[in-house]
């Protein structure tokens, strides 16, 4: 059997609009992000999920609630958090984003974690899903690093490939990405 996963990114945040990489900084959704999350309810009305998991950070949890509160059970999980940029949580994206590709795949951000650390968290979460939700349809609402981790873990991409093909770079957002476990 398989676990069918549909991955959603949280709505736009106030930090996103200011080109800030939040990391573990617990920032809220912007007005645009609130509307995106509400609009996602209509865009996903034909999908059926057994449960919704989300990062425990406010922006992802609020996105999940705005989209599916009262429709599905929503479970926050710390393993789905964005990468901890350490001293750079809340730093300008033009500083953080080059570091994501140039050295922090394996080496942690200063006082933070690496993308490999995020991948380990996501792998642990996937093990939990396989043990407890086999044959189920799961939605996840989270961030960039966990989504790229799924590309590496479940689609066989390298980190460099996952980063290069990321929808944020290719401007190819969609209302959910499908993965099978």
- Residue 119, pLDDT above cutoff 90: yes
Quote the mean pLDDT of the chain. Answer: 96
**pLDDT surpassing 90 at residue 155:** yes
Collapsing DSSP to helix, strand or coil, 8 comes out as strand
DSSP reduced 3-state for 69: coil
Query: Which SS3 state, helix, strand or coil, does residue 125 take?
Result: helix
Average confidence (pLDDT) over 136-148: 98
Please give the pLDDT value at position 168. Answer: 87
What percentage of the chain exceeds 70 in pLDDT?
100
Beta 4-9 vs 177-180: how paired, if at all? antiparallel
Helices and strands (H, E) in the chain, number of each type: 8, 7
Residue 164: predicted pLDDT: 92
Note the pLDDT of residue 103.
80
pLDDT in tens, 57-106: 999 999 999 999 999 999 999 999 999 999 999 999 999 999 988 889 99
Tell me how many domains the chain contains. Answer: 1
135 lies in which domain range?
A: 4-180
For every residue of 80-115, DSSP letters joined together read GPPP--GGGTTEEHHHHHHHHHHTTTTSPPTTS--H
The average pLDDT across 107-132 equals 97
Q: What confidence score (pLDDT) does residue 10 get?
A: 97
Quick one: average pLDDT of 98-116? 93
CATH number of the domain enclosing 118: 3.40.50.1240
């Amino acid at each position: 059997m398989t676990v069918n996963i549909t991955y959603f990114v949280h709505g736009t945040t106030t930090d996103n609009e200011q080109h800030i990489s939040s990391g573990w900084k617990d920032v809220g959704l912007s007005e645009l992000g609130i509307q995106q999350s509400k609009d996602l309810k209509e865009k996903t009305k034909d999908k059926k999920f057994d449960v919704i998991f989300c990062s425990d950070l406010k922006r992802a949890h609020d996105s999940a609630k705005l989209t599916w509160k009262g429709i599905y059970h929503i479970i926050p999980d710390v393993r789905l958090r964005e990468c901890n940029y350490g001293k750079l949580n809340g730093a300008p994206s033009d500083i953080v984003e080059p570091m994501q590709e140039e050295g922090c795949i394996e080496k942690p951000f200063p006082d933070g974690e690496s993308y490999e650390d995020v991948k380990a968290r996501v792998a642990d979460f996937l093990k939990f899903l396989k043990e407890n939700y086999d044959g189920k349809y799961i939605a996840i609402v989270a961030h960039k690093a966990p989504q790229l981790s799924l590309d590496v873990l479940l689609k066989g991409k390298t980190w460099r490939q996952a980063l290069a093909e990321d929808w944020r770079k290719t401007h190819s957002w969609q209302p959910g990405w499908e993965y099978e476990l």
